[in-house]
Structure 1
Amino acid sequence: MATPPLRDHVVRLVASLEGVCVRPVVRRVTDRVTGESVVRALDCGTTLESKCHACAAKARRLRITQCTEGWHLTREPEVGKMTEPPTEDRDDVPSDVADADDDATQARRVRSTRRLDGMPQLPQQPVQDRTVGAVFAAGEGKEYRPSMFVTLTLGSYGRVYPGRGVPVRPERYDYRRAALDALHFPRLMDRWFQNLRRCAGYRVQYFGAIEAQKRLAPHFHVALRGAIPRATLKAVTRATYLALWWPQMDTPVYVERTPVWDDGAYRDPDTGYPLPSWDQALADVDDDQAAQPAHVVTFGRQVDVKGILGGSKDSARAVRYLTKYLTKSITDTYADEDDPDPAYEAHIDRLHDQIRWLPCTPECANWLRYGTQPNNPGPGLVPGHCASKAHDREHLGLGGRRVLVSRGWSGKTLSQHKADRRAVVEQVLSAAGIQPDDANRMAADTLTEDGKPRFVWVEVPVTQGDWARVVMDSMREHDRRRDQYERAKAIVAGTDPPVDNLSANQHSSSDDAA
């Protein structure tokens, strides 16, 4: 009697427990030289456990490694070895090379160089050309080099019930300001780092993560290399702000009707006149000497600062705490999927309703709602349907960078940290007499003599009927590699007899039988 196939939910559960991707991306790889074709299942690579627990956990472990390696360095990292240029799509784009403000790229705009009235001045001191922390002398000839762990929060938008995060009086809760603060919180953090480097006296390096508080406002945990006086950290936090010198976005102009695209511009649906372009709208703001920023983001009063010594239990605990919620979306952080709180879900909906319609960038489609053409417009833009993930309900304004890492943190990219982990495994396998797989054996950038790629990768759609088989094949391969690595460690330790010199991609007879 044939064994009945496993149900999909059982396969998914077992795969998650085994650390195997449940959303595999299948590719057929063809060697143009030999004509041979093979099928490979690749991990999906998501960072959210709601989509794939195994890949999210793997991504978090990699971040833990990255954070740990760079926090308490005693020598300057070799930043020149970082070959991957930062891009807007990466969540680890170094903030020190990101644009501080949109208006900084507009040469004709001068408002960004003048501090707003009423804002505290920044304490400044000469900046030393170093990234490692200072060494302090202790008794009996001992020395120590402390670092910092800092938590920054936003201000209040209204009273909330303790432990629930739900507004006491939703009608008085400032959802609009909460939405705008969330949309632009990463840029506020960029400003904070820029200001901190001017005031700390050295080129501060950082690894930080943005997560949500219970009330759904973002806050920031950051590991800073080196010791910085608490007074300096608090003074910088008080003096840091982000001013958006943008066109008005208080009063919607088009609610029931939408501007139409015609002849290279968005036009009023009734009169046919083109809406003011982005440059025209900014020029109007510049010409109005009484104009105020469309929005100003500042931090709240609470600044938590703690000194941390490298190698201590506090250091390891802080790293785990800093990366605790990296695998969760903003709305999943505290929501109970099995027993949802109606009041909390309503709180999420009200905040999302604001985030959906407010502009996130100069290119956002929502500018049409407020009577202004976005920067670099094109056909197909619809207010309320901006392509940015920041407007999604699960992200609530934080659709981009959740991890902010400075270029000189560890001197390595995430890819290089991942390669380091693989190198450890390869060394153990080689020491045990097992030939490791060649990680680049089918690389897409391998060329033939004619200068064309040797290996051609083609996506293979995974049907619902094939999904369980593909995942189970991945589990068998995962088990084979894990058993092989454990045996290799035993051989190196001298607790297991030697084996034949097998390649790591050769299956055992039991695998073939399975």
Structure 2
Amino acid sequence: MSPTTRAERARMPLAKEVVRAAALEHGVCIRPIALRRTDVVTGQIEIIDVPCGATLASVCPTCAERKRQLRMAQCREGWHLTEEPALDADEPNDWQRALVEIRADVTKEHDAAGGPEREQLAADLAALDDEITRAGVRGNVDPDKPNRRTRSTRRRQDVADLPRRPVEARTVGKAYTGPDGKTFRPSLFVTLTLPSYGRVRSDGTPVDPTTYDYRRAARDALHFSKLVDRFIQNLRRLVGFDVQYFAAVEPQRRLAPHVHLAIRGTVSRTELRQVAAATYQQVWWPQCDEPAYGDDAAPVWDADLGAYVDPDTGAPLATWDEALDDLDADPAAEPVHVARFGVQVDAKGVLVGSDDAKRCIRYLAKYLNKSAHECHEPAGDTERAHVDRLMDELRYEPCSPGCANWLRYGVQPKNARASMRPGHCKAKAHRRTHLGYGGRRVLVSRKWSGKTLADHKHERRAWVLDLLGEMDGGTDPDRYMWEHVRPSDPDVPSISHRLLRAVAERVRWRGALDAAKARADGQLGDSAITGRAA
């Protein structure tokens, strides 16, 4: 074997990259979280690797793909249900009842106390609420009543009318009988988009950037999730049953978000277009079109007042609630923004088990393991400039009541703090990776499948264990102590060693699973042969 030259050696892959590639090939998490597990009975100490659970392929392809497949299973299971999902709550256990009784006693003492004792009891109540939540209780035992602002519910005159029907207590679509006597339940795959902001080319960039409405594009992206929620509410009121959906939000080439919805049951195209045309989301916020302060004269924090003040006069800025009070008192006030859908509404019928259903599910999950900016990577200077202009518009656009950008418009953000700076809001809507959309990428109605994502995950695990013929005895929560470890701890192996160990375990597990599948297929084949012979 001839000795390698320096150039050949430079082209050789690094050992750690080979290990990483092997881990990815065998479906192993490449960013495992190391935990130290101590058995309190035997005293044995082990380093256990837990998958990182990343949802983006750019962070961990293995975990992101696993999450994507889990979402596909969730979509598939709930789309064509023929019976109402079971959502009956469990009966409270003894420990949950005991915690609530303790809280009742502390609440009584809190209401009767005053001064420092009342503050201490308030802290005890907060700790009890956390313990009640950990005990498996959903919601708050004694929720504070929010100070909700009421506005006129009269519909805008510039949108279509929306009839309303009584909503039936059902989520399953209607069944139809074909000429051959077979019964089928069609469902829908719907796509909703935002309106045009100006003519665009095939790559999504504007023909004339100077006339393209970037401000409206930015505000529509910020409030898109609320618009989708309003569409579902209106759809339920029009069709007369509790419509269930699985939706995925992703950007178009022009960077505007649009939504794909798998809807259980069927709705006429006419009604879908009617609901889309009649749906809008009004944003009743203080004025944020013209800034009150520039970059060189931003409001300053007054530690004594605990508020932001004018840099010249020292007068405190209006609080968020005061600004909304002024808005409510103005009879001529208009919403700062009204979000609407565009005229394009695509809908197609889908039958359970069809190739169309499989294609739609794959399409829904196509970009779930990518961030918004990765869905359509800019290929040239023109596309990068388009992204830059949108991000410049989003930089100073308020994204929420607590956004630091409100300081630029003379309003203190809700829950203001000394570290806030206009143009530097840390909310994800302002990040380049989100392109203005700060909501969840996957939207699932509560009665979609009657199960949480954790339930679907546990079912998958139970299926594997059943196939392998193993029992899931669970873990005694009181037997082990868990703690996070640092990579520099002397008892923690190197990441390459841990990945190699995980690969070996994965190969062993995959071999056992393949063998179990082969046995199951053989038994099924023997049964089928026996049945045909009989």
TM-score, with length taken from structure 2: 0.81
2:170 to 121, 126, 130: 130
Give the match's secondary structure for 1:310.
coil
Mapped partners of 1:277, 1:232: distance in 2: 43
Q: Residue 483 of structure 2 corresponds to which residue in structure 1?
A: 457
1:380 to 415, 419, 430: 419
Structure 2 residue 160 is the aligned partner of structure 1 residue 110:
no
Q: Residue 101 of structure 1 corresponds to which residue in structure 2?
A: none
- Asked if the contact 1:28–1:460 (Cα under 8 Å) also holds between the matched residues in 2, the reply is no
- Asked if the contact 1:123–1:232 (Cα under 8 Å) also holds between the matched residues in 2, the reply is no
- Asked if the contact 1:29–1:458 (Cα under 8 Å) also holds between the matched residues in 2, the reply is no
- Asked if the contact 2:35–2:482 (Cα under 8 Å) also holds between the matched residues in 1, the reply is no
**Residues 116, 461 of structure 1: CA spacing in aligned structure 2 closer, same or farther, 3 A cutoff?**
farther
2:478 to 427, 439, 447: 447
- Alignment RMSD, CA only? 2.4
Read off the aligned partner of 2:404 and give its amino acid letter. Answer: A
2:201 to 161, 183, 195: 161
**TM-superposition CA deviations, 1:314-351 (whole Å, max 9, x none):** 11111111111111111111116xxx311111111111
Structure 2 residue 385 is the aligned partner of structure 1 residue 359:
no
Alpha-carbon distance, 1:409 to partner:
0.4
Q: More deviation in 297-306 or 366-375?
A: 366-375
Structure 2 residue 512 is the aligned partner of structure 1 residue 484:
yes
- Asked if the contact 1:134–1:226 (Cα under 8 Å) also holds between the matched residues in 2, the reply is yes
Structure 2 residue 262 is the aligned partner of structure 1 residue 223:
yes
**Residues 7, 400 of structure 1: CA spacing in aligned structure 2 closer, same or farther, 3 A cutoff?**
farther
- Asked if the contact 1:152–1:219 (Cα under 8 Å) also holds between the matched residues in 2, the reply is yes
Q: Residue 415 of structure 1 corresponds to which residue in structure 2?
A: 454
2:338 to 286, 291, 296: 296
Q: More deviation in 224-233 or 25-34?
A: 25-34
**Residues 34, 386 of structure 1: CA spacing in aligned structure 2 closer, same or farther, 3 A cutoff?**
farther
Mapped partners of 2:44, 2:409: distance in 1: 57
2:73 to 53, 65, 70: 65
2:364 to 298, 302, 322: 322
**TM-superposition CA deviations, 1:451-494 (whole Å, max 9, x none):** xxx42222333799933333232222222221221223234445
**TM-superposition CA deviations, 1:126-148 (whole Å, max 9, x none):** 22111000011221322221111
Read off the aligned partner of 1:142 and give its amino acid letter. Answer: K
Read off the aligned partner of 2:284 and give its amino acid letter. Answer: W
Mapped partners of 2:43, 2:403: distance in 1: 47
- Asked if the contact 1:81–1:412 (Cα under 8 Å) also holds between the matched residues in 2, the reply is no
Aligned runs of 1:78-477 on 2, under 5 Å?
Answer: 78-80=86-88, 106-111=147-152, 113-162=153-202, 164-254=203-293, 255-262=295-302, 263-335=305-377, 340-430=379-469, 435=470, 438=473, 440-441=474-475, 446-447=477-478, 454-461=480-487, 466-477=494-505
Mapped partners of 1:311, 1:333: distance in 2: 28
- Give the % identical residues: 50
Read off the aligned partner of 1:441 and give its amino acid letter. Answer: T
- Asked if the contact 1:30–1:456 (Cα under 8 Å) also holds between the matched residues in 2, the reply is yes
Give the match's secondary structure for 1:408.
coil
**Residues 437, 127 of structure 1: CA spacing in aligned structure 2 closer, same or farther, 3 A cutoff?**
closer
Question: Please, which runs of 5 or more residues in structure 1 have no aligned partner?
Answer: 84-96, 99-103, 449-453, 496-514
- Asked if the contact 2:405–2:421 (Cα under 8 Å) also holds between the matched residues in 1, the reply is yes
Read off the aligned partner of 2:485 and give its amino acid letter. Answer: E
Alpha-carbon distance, 1:6 to partner:
4.5
Q: Residue 84 of structure 2 corresponds to which residue in structure 1?
A: 76
TM-score, with length taken from structure 1: 0.84
Read off the aligned partner of 1:303 and give its amino acid letter. Answer: V
Task: Give the number of aligned pairs.
Answer: 456
Alpha-carbon distance, 1:115 to partner:
2.0
Give the match's secondary structure for 1:473.
helix
- Asked if the contact 1:82–1:412 (Cα under 8 Å) also holds between the matched residues in 2, the reply is no
Alpha-carbon distance, 1:49 to partner:
0.9
- Asked if the contact 1:160–1:215 (Cα under 8 Å) also holds between the matched residues in 2, the reply is yes
Alpha-carbon distance, 1:105 to partner:
6.1
- Asked if the contact 1:197–1:203 (Cα under 8 Å) also holds between the matched residues in 2, the reply is yes
- Asked if the contact 2:487–2:494 (Cα under 8 Å) also holds between the matched residues in 1, the reply is no
Give the match's secondary structure for 2:193.
strand
**Residues 114, 31 of structure 1: CA spacing in aligned structure 2 closer, same or farther, 3 A cutoff?**
farther
Structure 2 residue 48 is the aligned partner of structure 1 residue 40:
yes
**Residues 34, 246 of structure 1: CA spacing in aligned structure 2 closer, same or farther, 3 A cutoff?**
same
**Residues 136, 462 of structure 1: CA spacing in aligned structure 2 closer, same or farther, 3 A cutoff?**
farther
Mapped partners of 2:191, 2:310: distance in 1: 46
Give the match's secondary structure for 1:150.
strand
**Residues 471, 348 of structure 1: CA spacing in aligned structure 2 closer, same or farther, 3 A cutoff?**
farther
Alpha-carbon distance, 1:171 to partner:
1.6
Mapped partners of 2:30, 2:90: distance in 1: 32
Q: More deviation in 176-185 or 379-388?
A: 379-388
**TM-superposition CA deviations, 1:359-415 (whole Å, max 9, x none):** 111111111121111112223222222232121101112233111100100000000
Give the match's secondary structure for 1:242.
strand
Alpha-carbon distance, 1:82 to partner:
9.1
- Asked if the contact 1:275–1:371 (Cα under 8 Å) also holds between the matched residues in 2, the reply is yes
**TM-superposition CA deviations, 1:74-130 (whole Å, max 9, x none):** 0000123699xxxxxxxxxxxxx99xxxxx96534324x232231222121222111
- Asked if the contact 1:123–1:235 (Cα under 8 Å) also holds between the matched residues in 2, the reply is no
**Residues 31, 258 of structure 1: CA spacing in aligned structure 2 closer, same or farther, 3 A cutoff?**
farther
Mapped partners of 2:488, 2:459: distance in 1: 32
**Residues 299, 52 of structure 1: CA spacing in aligned structure 2 closer, same or farther, 3 A cutoff?**
same
**TM-superposition CA deviations, 1:409-450 (whole Å, max 9, x none):** 0000000000010010010111xxxx4565x426xxx236xx
Mapped partners of 1:230, 1:115: distance in 2: 23
Mapped partners of 1:429, 1:81: distance in 2: 32
Read off the aligned partner of 1:36 and give its amino acid letter. Answer: Q
**Residues 485, 281 of structure 1: CA spacing in aligned structure 2 closer, same or farther, 3 A cutoff?**
same
- Asked if the contact 1:128–1:203 (Cα under 8 Å) also holds between the matched residues in 2, the reply is yes
- Asked if the contact 2:462–2:472 (Cα under 8 Å) also holds between the matched residues in 1, the reply is no
Alpha-carbon distance, 1:160 to partner:
1.0
Mapped partners of 2:493, 2:35: distance in 1: 17
